[in-house]
Amino acid sequence: MREEALTEEFARIVRSVAVPRSVIGAVLREIERTRAEDRERAKAETARLAATEERLAKRLERLYLDFAEGTLEEETYSSLRNRTSEELREVRNLRGKPTARGLDAGRAGLLELAAEGLSRFESGSQDAKREVVDALCSNSTYGLDGVQVSLREPFQIVAQINANRTEIDSQTVQLEEWLPELDSNQHKLIQSQLSCH
């Protein structure tokens, strides 16, 4: 296969995962909105866990004082202390875990590649084209049927969405051409109720 044909085949593949810049912008805005909500939830959860930790620590202190004053038997004190200590450990473990999700640089790079990959591929050097293909494809082989490509998972999903969108767009065009004018029933009110528009 000639280099130009191979390049065109990979360009077709890169086109299949292209996402308009406006869509990427909307996705990034939604991610940022979600991150802000996550930060607020994390802050509220941290405050709740801190209050629970303080309450459990005070309960342990009260249990010890009650035991020291003789108002609790040793067996009861030991059982309540163990249960409260375990709850306190669980709360401290939860406080130590990160709770907010975030958009890391890798995911942002994937979105950027979906938006800019085609222009990078079309206008780039052979090295730039290779970088785009390497980022998009997990495996590519050449056989009797031409180039066979396995896209990396996020791009595989984008390619499927784009293929479905193209199919829906072509069906919409066919529907619009199906009944463009008045049909044999010339009464506009009845036709508007029966029409697909």
First to last CA, the chain: 48
Backbone angles phi, psi at 141, to 5 degrees: -135, 160
Domain boundary among 151, 168, 188: 151
Q: Is the pLDDT of residue 68 over 90?
A: yes
Mean pLDDT taken over the chain? 76
Mean pLDDT in residue range 23-45? 79
Identify the domain containing residue 183 by its residue range: 153-197
Give tens-digit pLDDT for 95-144: 877 654 444 555 666 677 777 877 888 888 888 888 888 888 877 777 77
State whether 146 and 170 are in the same domain. Answer: no
Query: What pLDDT was estimated at residue 173?
Result: 44
**Residue 35: pLDDT over 80:** no
pLDDT above 70: residue 175:
no
Reply yes or no on whether the pLDDT at 174 is more than 50.
no
What's the rounded Cα separation, in Å, for the pair 51 and 56?
Answer: 9
Assess whether 160 and 128 both reside in one domain. Answer: no
How many domains does the chain fold into? 2
The two structure tokens encoding residue 106: 């890798």
For residues 68 and 166, give the distance between their C-alpha atoms in angstroms, rounded to a whole number.
Answer: 77
- When pLDDT is averaged across residues 24-48 and rounded to a whole number, the result is 81
Shared domain check, 114 and 95: yes
Instruction: Give the pair of three-digit tokens for residue 186.
Output: 């010339």
Q: Check pLDDT > 80 for residue 54.
A: yes
pTM metric for this prediction: 0.43
Q: What are residue 149's DSSP bridge partners?
A: 140
Residues 76 and 100 in one domain: yes
> Where does the pLDDT of residue 84 fall: very low under 50, low under 70, confident under 90, or very high at 90 and above?
very high
- In the three-class reduction of DSSP (H, G, I as helix; E, B as strand; rest coil), residue 6 is classed as helix
Same domain, yes or no: 142 and 176: no
Residues 131 and 167 occupy one common structural domain: no
Q: Are residues 146 and 157 in the same domain?
A: no
Pair 125, 159 in one domain:
no
50 near 95, Cβ under 8 Å?
yes
